[in-house]
Amino acid sequence: MKVRAVVLEGIGDICLRDIEVPGTLEPADNEVRIAIKTVGICGSDVHYYKHGRIGDFVVNEPMVLGHEAAGVVTAVGAKVAQLKVGDRVCMEPGIPDFGSQETLAGHYNLDPSVRFWATPPIHGCLTPEVVHPAALTYKLPDNVSFAEGAMVEPLAIGVYAAAKAKIEPGDVAVVAGAGTIGMMIAFSALAAGCSEVIVSDMAKAKLDLIADRPGIVTVDLNHQKLTDVVAAHTAGRGADVFFEASGSPHAFDNMMDVIRPAGRAVLVGMPQDRAPLDVVALEVKEVTVTGIFRYANVWDRTLALLGSGKIDLKPMISGSYPFDESVAAFERAAQQNPSDVKIQITF
Ligand SMILES: NC(=O)c1ccc[n+]([C@@H]2O[C@H](COP(=O)([O-])OP(=O)(O)OC[C@H]3O[C@@H](n4cnc5c(N)ncnc54)[C@H](O)[C@@H]3O)[C@@H](O)[C@H]2O)c1
Ligand SMILES: [Zn+2]
């Protein structure tokens, strides 16, 4: 079928045009059709735009961008009971094989055949209508806007990271990196029960956006050392949990120095090159290290958290452009203005 969409043609080349994509707008039995209302531009969309690849995922053919979306249900398949026409929803963008071994084992995000929007060769959702599995389509609470609904995707990464960290009430956490992902992790770690979350970055404009939230301590790496601040806040013992959310290999330089004995580390940032891990320090402190890949089984709780009002994402939405101005939206996102967090496109 032919759809109008935001298409990445190649490195540095995006346009809004009609494109032939597989599929139909008629939902199958367990699918719904959604009229898209808001799509957020992700760091990965910008990375494909600028570099044409992320690791082994290479854009070889024109690809529709976008995976952070909210909209309204416009048709439901014959076997869909939990959603109806008119429901306001957001969509989990990775479609696994529902019968695969990894899906059946509970971690469908690790299914090697998962088809994730705007991860080549799979087209994304920057197009007026999509058809999606009902099981991966979630109703928005009435008090959650489409703009916030389109933020559930990055927030789910934070919620999943916090869950993997097994946070206990009163824990002190460190987050390296105050980009979108670092912010989402910091908010989720606080919601999970941390007493303090120490967030480091060298981009002061980013830190300023979150500095006045109760429980957040910001560390401007231009003027302060992370090790000093963590020591001051933990009586020299180290933090219970460390989250790597910068993607910089330098974040590993003092990672083991800021984690307490028997602490935990959750690695979320994806360094372009191999990152150095101090194995002996890890052993001597018996630090538990885990990585995460996107999320699994957390979208419902992420929406519940957003609906509860415990996390306010509205200040993180820095700019909004109509669909017709999508190319301008991408140009703005690609500038990576330090005071911008999320740029969105609306329909
Ligand atoms: N594991 C996953 O499933 C997953 C999902 C989404 C994103 N990611 C990764 O998470 C990382 C962050 O994503 P983002 O969209 O927030 O990126 P971003 O570029 O917006 O944010 C990264 C931030 O880290 C800061 N930074 C750089 N070096 C630092 C250092 N040494 N210490 C502290 N801060 C430093 C930068 O100034 C920037 O503000 C990326 O590497 C991305 O690929 C992983
Ligand atoms: Zn994203």
| pLDDT of amino acid 313 | 97
Gap from CA of 20 to ligand 1 centroid (Å):
34
List the domains of the chain with CATH numbers: 2-151+313-346 (3.90.180.10), 158-291 (3.40.50.720)
User: What is the residue with the minimal CA distance to atom 31 of ligand 1?
Assistant: 251
User: What is the residue with the minimal CA distance to atom 19 of ligand 1?
Assistant: 179
Gap from CA of 40 to ligand 2 centroid (Å):
8
Ligand 1 atom closest to residue 54's alpha carbon, by position in its atom list? 43
| pLDDT of amino acid 57 | 92
Which alpha helices (H) appear in 7-100, and where do they start and end?
Answer: 43-51
Which residues, in sequence order, are bridge partners of residue 291?
Answer: 267
Q: Give the ligand whose atoms come closest to the C-alpha of residue 333.
A: 1
User: What is the residue with the minimal CA distance to atom 10 of ligand 1?
Assistant: 269
- Whether 334 is in the pocket of ligand 1, judged by its Cβ within 6 Å, is no
CA atoms within 13 A on the CB side of 320: 14
| pLDDT of amino acid 45 | 96
| pLDDT of amino acid 55 | 86
| pLDDT of amino acid 239 | 98
- Whether 202 is in the pocket of ligand 1, judged by its Cβ within 6 Å, is yes
| pLDDT of amino acid 10 | 94
Which segments of the chain have a pLDDT < 50?
A: none
Task: Note the pLDDT tens digit of each residue in 129-166.
Answer: 999 999 999 999 999 999 999 999 999 999 999 999 99
Rounded to the nearest angstrom, the gap between the alpha carbon of residue 135 and the centroid of all alpha carbons in its chain is 19
Checking 324-331 for CB contacts under 8 A at 24+ apart, the result is 324/16, 326/6, 326/14, 326/16, 326/126, 327/6, 327/14, 327/15, 327/16, 329/41, 330/6, 330/14, 330/41, 330/45, 330/46, 330/49, 330/65
